[in-house]
Structure 1
């Protein structure tokens, strides 16, 4: 018998259904079909043990003398404590040990984590049987059968497995040691992660730039020319100087020498097919979906056999996939309901999507042949939006170029006009004024091409949304033209320098993906920019969404509308952590090393030893950090401790904030001999930051304590449904939901 282990129940069902010509029999946690047994994991069934589960070490105690924590070579793995995990692991183990099972198939998801899930199960069960790898990117029956015919020995993926194990152990070593070391050094609770903390550092750095920005006013002169306008090339910091130019532009009889610098038709090629990060960015821009929600919807579509594998970093398909793409574009079900039929490319350019060298394991995201418009109705709203966007990107990627006419002109006061003004007391005072430059730019569509496919507009700020459309006349000829503007209509436009924009989900994902912009080392920057290496950025397409959500759950980052802003706790963490702990460059280098292990280009033991060496240095760096930044954090803590959020609902004394919760200022806690904390005084009132999946803000708590009631949107029920409710103070629980109004 052949035992096939999939990652999820739905995938196991799809695999069992693809095995032709045999009847199925359902058992306890498996499906038997012919000479095959198909079972499934439940995500990660086997995980690394926590420090306090190592009974031969004194790691339950949080103390500097116990650091560094490093179980090498005796790493301990334990069965997951999530509901149903132990039962399903027992089912798989029983099947692995059946006498008639002689061969295994790893059918877990075709990525680093899927490889880890399978290998951890078999290793923990102590089973070593001949194994093959089912590498399938679509759950359609034909794709599964084709993948069975092309299976390779599991040993062909040893590099992938080694990278997965190193990643897990490195995250454990750095996360456990850094979180404990910095928490102990600062007598606070800090959560530090290999990818999480550098990502937070990018957000904090951006917020600091915004906060430090000092806006300065400037003025430009606008001269209407009848359907288009000239704008002074210079931004004037001196309003009086700008007014002098304005007065000249409004002088009766003023003329301009206008020079046509450029007029050309530009062809913008279609965008590439989606990888996961690209889809997440566009869903955030177009529909405000978080990266996590986009991934969840896409994963569901994949399990429903409506899209190909979601966690891909490729934007291309291979020549082998070209026929499938051709069939998709010839099927009318992918036109009506998804795009306007008149916008369908007349001659689809399928070849634009093909690049075998840039596909490493997984192709770009595409719909499957089962994903016609007739399948939209039963889907959730998020799934509909995601599937529609995937189909539309397919059409965009093979569409016609977007053709637009770009025109640029320059201008200055005409020579004839200048001659009349040098003798005028209110005219030119010097040659520089006479040579004041003006510019105009127009960009007009000629043929929408691929841009006609998507009708939704990005939900982003547009600095020029109030500007009139500029249409430079087609009869403007090359060379000098003397033009009389609309008399007396020039105006002064006041503006101000702007700070960088806060990160949104889309721009943060882009920053994580293109980490080279934060890297100074030229060789590493070049390596990260080489998208054929599939190693650029921090995190992976599969993990970036979770990193963002962890930062929010940890109260280091909060969502403000579409913006992602750092909290004081997040800024404190970045203040205290050593440069190497928050460095985008070092984290990107780690990702590159893992990719090297995966492809057999770097030695696994050498890379793992580098991570261990890094972990050994953390306790020392945390103690050094206290000497240089401890006074800053203490000052901030004292200031925060003095800030009252309102009267305590239980005793009336001021409420203050302590990290991830608000509490009565009378409360006192002391550290016990075993390292734990215990309450030793005060009324005991406390309100935790997260209530029913919703992170409360300082403003919300002030309203709650001041008005004794606050309306909060976006709570999450145990069933996963969103709801709104009033929050009112509660003497024992901090606050409770109220539905009476």
Structure 2
């Protein structure tokens, strides 16, 4: 008899087959003497659409909502090309899986999908769909190396022991369906004037609110001006140091910012000499940053490389995981389980060979690295003992980030010396000058990424030395507004649900207790969806709300969905379901009651122009159907798209770009109102300039093309 192993993807199935030296690949599976290994392609089945339960739901009407199925049903996932048809590849693989399950020589099944909420659901929904009666087991491993696979297969658990993980996965899936289907539908009917989709989501809206709040903070920011007095202090040998004027405002508090410029100018007039009254030298240690969890890895990469998004980092990390080069990436942990001490030493010994700083690398067992209290389900992301080959440039960037962060933990601590010199000016001047310097004593772990420290060197001075004030100036400083959010800063707020922690351990504990917005696996997708729905847009690495996004936040009546605290509580409930501390039925009852109440609020909302998205920000009328044309994240399009209108002008239109111009709102507005738009200073092939009008017309195949008319 044989065991059937179900992997999440073909690449993982291949890793399992390689571990057991199984070479026999057939259509949709591998087969050896002990194991048959097949795979899914992520989710092969999906929840019914509303119209699958009731055909009349094809047409949205207020009286059809709220719509809550009595039982949730599943169907084969739909084709990406035609949502009305099932995906042919899914049908084919499902048939293979069903046949293998029913084979007489298969006595049991092993679920080998990712060990998380979504991975559990991918397999379990298939077992329920096929009504599997044979024993089902679960392999729980953090990487797909040969050693890990063999160890995992020798320590299988009954799949039933993961029932709470399945409950959490289904609760998340069903809750998002209930909220998304109901609130998106009635919001689109109420505010989209039957023309524009208003996407509503449990995680989507609070994330939008984070970006909106920062935009608003910047818009309402009022700059404050203050002044600083800066001097040059010269010692007898001719060396100089810079000092800033401070006045004591409390027992241990000094202030260098002054509102009154005239006050500092008066002090400046009387400056001549100063005497050193204190010199403090302190040696300090700087520890390496903690190991990566997914959010920190995404933030690290996106802040360093313009071409990376958090979604891209996740996809590359997942690929590296499936290639056996790194451990499971969808983790919230920044430490390793204490059971991994020996394995970690093996990985370190394999990866340090040949590094220029190899002699400095020493394996250590500390709580910063190995700490069960800082691990939930999955340890931090680290490399495996397998050295990668033939990585793409993007894969190389992500892999080296993980590897370098890992190596840093086992190098000496960076050390520096910090010096503070306090000097008192002559006369009746109230304050003192403070000079600060910093000198690197030991580079330590910073050698890995060649992180340079900018030293501020101070000359050698002693207590009571007299210094000559050779130069002074009063600087005007205007406070600056906070910066727009980047994916790095947004991910951090989503991870901590907007809370700030002075204590690193408190932050880790909160993250691992599930009180967050979304999960490590879903946050990148949420940011991507905010862009695709047209709620936010990007400016370089920065994220900012569109007018549509602002309108949603300002006027959408279900304020709980904007509340980080409320969303964090829902995520915490899902976490508690995983831990058998909360019941699936209670969670879904909560969601259904919330949805019913919300649907009625939207239905009865007093709609006014403030909430009408079709007229707001309209750039003009569609030449095909006379509906409004509005701006989205990637294009300018007709709001009547639901009824089939295809009028669209893409922002990255290749033809307009080839002219050295951009598709802008003003350009589209001129085109819609005048039927044409003019450009000056266009270049011929010979370098001469010309001007032309451009119109946007349909050809015989009903596709839109630009027509040019040169102006004499």
TM-score (norm 1): 0.80
Cα distance change, pair 698–167 in 1 and its aligned pair in 2 (3 A): farther
Residue 194 of structure 1: aligned partner: 202
Q: Structure 1 residue 161 and structure 2 residue 166: aligned?
A: yes
Aligned partners of 1:25 and 1:33 also within 8 Å: yes
Give 1:469 deviation, angstroms: 6.0
Aligned partners of 2:615 and 2:628 also within 8 Å: no
Give 1:613 deviation, angstroms: 1.4
CA distance in 2, matches of 1:306, 1:654: 53
Give 1:148 deviation, angstroms: 0.4
Cα distance change, pair 585–67 in 1 and its aligned pair in 2 (3 A): same
CA distance in 2, matches of 1:267, 1:527: 22
Residue 182 of structure 2: aligned partner: 177
Specify every segment of 5 or more residues in structure 2 that has no aligned partner in the other structure, as ranges.
81-86, 235-239, 247-255, 672-676, 683-693
Cα distance change, pair 80–5 in 1 and its aligned pair in 2 (3 A): farther
Residue 357 of structure 2: aligned partner: 342
Aligned partners of 2:629 and 2:639 also within 8 Å: no
Aligned partners of 1:441 and 1:470 also within 8 Å: yes
Find the partner of 1:101 among 81, 97, 106: 106
What are the Cα deviations for residues 522-568 of structure 1, in whole angstroms up to 9, with x where unaligned?
Answer: xxx99976248441321111111111111111111112111111111
Cα distance change, pair 583–18 in 1 and its aligned pair in 2 (3 A): same
- Let me know the Cα RMSD of the aligned residues: 3.5
CA distance in 2, matches of 1:610, 1:518: 28
Aligned partners of 1:344 and 1:395 also within 8 Å: no
Report SS of the residue matched to 1:353. coil
Q: Structure 1 residue 407 and structure 2 residue 408: aligned?
A: no
Residue 33 of structure 2: aligned partner: 34
Give 1:615 deviation, angstroms: 1.2
Greater shift in the superposed pair: 219-228 or 274-283: 219-228
Find the partner of 2:345 among 314, 326, 330: 326
Residue 448 of structure 2: aligned partner: 453
Report SS of the residue matched to 1:617. helix
Report SS of the residue matched to 1:640. coil
CA distance in 1, matches of 2:349, 2:92: 46
Give 1:658 deviation, angstroms: 5.3
Aligned partners of 1:177 and 1:618 also within 8 Å: no
Aligned partners of 2:299 and 2:488 also within 8 Å: yes
Give 1:361 deviation, angstroms: 2.5
Aligned partners of 1:185 and 1:623 also within 8 Å: yes
Residue 431 of structure 1: aligned partner: none
Greater shift in the superposed pair: 238-247 or 113-122: 238-247
CA distance in 1, matches of 2:127, 2:469: 81
Aligned partners of 1:406 and 1:444 also within 8 Å: yes
CA distance in 2, matches of 1:367, 1:139: 12
Report SS of the residue matched to 2:58. coil
Report SS of the residue matched to 2:270. helix
Residue 48 of structure 1: aligned partner: 47
CA distance in 1, matches of 2:279, 2:78: 67
Cα distance change, pair 589–78 in 1 and its aligned pair in 2 (3 A): same
Aligned partners of 2:121 and 2:169 also within 8 Å: yes
Residue 558 of structure 1: aligned partner: 537
Report SS of the residue matched to 1:587. helix
Specify every segment of 5 or more residues in structure 1 that has no aligned partner in the other structure, as ranges.
419-433, 458-464, 520-524, 712-727
How does 1:303-322 map onto structure 2 within 5 Å? 303-322=322-341
Give 1:17 deviation, angstroms: 1.8
Give 1:657 deviation, angstroms: 2.6
What are the Cα deviations for residues 49-93 of structure 1, in whole angstroms up to 9, with x where unaligned?
Answer: 12122126x422222221112113344444343552221112112
Report SS of the residue matched to 1:610. helix
Cα distance change, pair 583–532 in 1 and its aligned pair in 2 (3 A): closer
Report SS of the residue matched to 1:731. strand
CA distance in 1, matches of 2:370, 2:397: 26
Find the partner of 1:543 among 522, 531, 538: 522
CA distance in 2, matches of 1:279, 1:312: 10
Report SS of the residue matched to 2:228. strand
Aligned partners of 2:331 and 2:381 also within 8 Å: yes
Greater shift in the superposed pair: 226-235 or 550-559: 226-235
TM-score (norm 2): 0.83
Aligned residues, how many?
A: 651
CA distance in 2, matches of 1:37, 1:550: 38
How does 1:114-125 map onto structure 2 within 5 Å? 114-125=119-130
Cα distance change, pair 27–709 in 1 and its aligned pair in 2 (3 A): farther
How does 1:632-643 map onto structure 2 within 5 Å? 632-634=610-612, 640-641=617-618
Residue 221 of structure 1: aligned partner: 229
Find the partner of 1:622 among 602, 605, 608: 602
How does 1:268-667 map onto structure 2 within 5 Å? 268-288=286-306, 289-331=308-350, 333-336=351-354, 341-342=356-357, 345-351=360-366, 352-371=368-387, 375=389, 378-414=390-426, 417-418=427-428, 434-455=429-450, 470-477=456-463, 481=464, 483-487=466-470, 489-517=471-499, 530-531=509-510, 533-577=512-556, 578-623=558-603, 626=606, 630-634=608-612, 640-641=617-618, 657=630
Give 1:100 deviation, angstroms: 2.7
Give 1:602 deviation, angstroms: 1.2
Find the partner of 2:65 among 64, 67, 88: 67
Cα distance change, pair 668–482 in 1 and its aligned pair in 2 (3 A): closer
Report SS of the residue matched to 1:455. coil
CA distance in 2, matches of 1:557, 1:576: 16
How does 1:228-239 map onto structure 2 within 5 Å? 228-233=241-246, 234-239=256-261
